Structure 1
């Protein structure tokens, strides 16, 4: 592949006139202009280079593509996001998708729920799971952005923020074992035993006789 930035104008001149002093002088005079034009070629690539374009170019594109919600106070990253999605938003303007996209361009995430999804009043909707920092100053701008892309018959009922917090939870436990032995005085009386007592006796008598011869 030929690197166009490395091509010299003298290389494009036919060999039959390449050695002519006047031709060489003319080529040398035009060489800098050719290099300037070559270096400017990437500038005409707009959509593929939105993340590289300067802010004033982004502002011009926003005007040219009729970005509905575009204010000077928003950040450059938000401007680029709005310009990127402007064509698709014009195609699907008035749909929940368009509302979600304009909120995502300002904040990080959003989900649109229509009234029949949560049992609300007819023709109302709400935007939930907004993952971003919404200040008191930002709320009017956010509502204005939603109003520019929603359909006329639908009304915004509310906004719901979503926060995720991550951390480590430590749990501990202990086991305690105890045995109690309580010795109390006897709580019963000795039983009364009755019966017949038999007694007996014996007499033993011994008599010795000695006979002398």
Structure 2
């Protein structure tokens, strides 16, 4: 590292120059980059400040994705495209429906977000709102945010309920017996005798 302090500069400047020289000579300059996807994690807040992008509450992966689009988002700020791209940094399935797509009021729009791996909570909802209001134009009105959670679970739960009823057959017990016997016998005897003699019936 060359000496940037001239002879007529004060001694304090020379001391700072020597200190900086000692620190920067062993520094790997190849690791310093402003590419959000490859820079050191400690540089993310500095890049966010430089690009005027808020990454509060975002994971490292989400922050890198948003910062890598920062210049493009600033160029297209106020458009539906900018809203979609900013939301996709956090939710890759985010959709923006404009009023003429669903017969809504003029200049209104809806945002639909589907997730199968990221839970929805109050912080997530605030992040969505923050991104939408940062990149939408002043005229457009956010009508609603629809959240949908999908489950990719391949497990099935089943339950069965068995009911058993025991029936015991006991021997027949006659507790009370009443019998009425009535009979009527009739005997009739009819006797007829016929004697046939010489064709005369007696």
TM-score clears 0.5: yes
Counterpart position of 2:96: 112
Report 1:92-171 matches (<5 A).
92-131=76-115, 132-166=118-152, 167=154
Counterpart position of 2:3: none
If the length of structure 1 is used for normalisation, what is the TM-score? 0.54
Counterpart position of 1:41: 29
Contact 1:107 1:133 in 2 (8 A): no
If the length of structure 2 is used for normalisation, what is the TM-score? 0.57
Uncovered stretches (5+) of structure 2, i.e. residues with no partner: 1-20, 157-202
Which of 59, 64, 67 is matched with 2:45 structurally? 59
> Which deviates the most, 92-101 or 51-60?
51-60
Task: Say how many residue pairs are matched.
Answer: 132
Uncovered stretches (5+) of structure 1, i.e. residues with no partner: 1-32, 170-213
**Structure 2 Cα separation of the partners of residues 80 and 149 of structure 1:** 18
Counterpart position of 2:171: none
CA RMSD of superposed structures (Å): 2.5
**Structure 1 Cα separation of the partners of residues 45 and 155 of structure 2:** 45
**Structure 2 Cα separation of the partners of residues 153 and 46 of structure 1:** 34
* Higher-helix-fraction structure: 1
Deviation at 1:39, TM superposition (A): 5.8
Deviation sequence 1:103-149 (CA, Å, 0-9, x none): 12222321111000011111100111432422123212321221010
